[in-house]
Amino acid sequence: MSAAKFDRRMLEALVCPETRAPLRYDAEAQELISKAAHLAFPIRNGIPIMLVDEARKLED
């Protein structure tokens, strides 16, 4: 069973929960990137996990 793909059209409706800034989709890492908050939100089974506690902090 293959992992579900993230629907890129969903990206238009999603914003960073911390800053309300737009997100960038990183297909290779399966993450949504918030440059404003320096966070990467994981996408699991095609579902973005938009919880700050679940996000990975990005290096500057």
Average of per-residue pLDDT across 15-33? 95
**Angle value at C-alpha 33, between 30 and 34, nearest 5 degrees:** 160
End-to-end CA distance of the chain: 36
Position 39 confidence tier, pLDDT thresholds 50, 70, 90: very high
Residue 26 has pLDDT above 50, yes or no: yes
Where exactly are the structural domains of the chain? 8-43
Question: What pLDDT score does 1 carry?
Answer: 41
Residue 2 has pLDDT above 80, yes or no: no
- pTM of the entire predicted model: 0.86
What the block records as the tokens of 10 is 């969903």
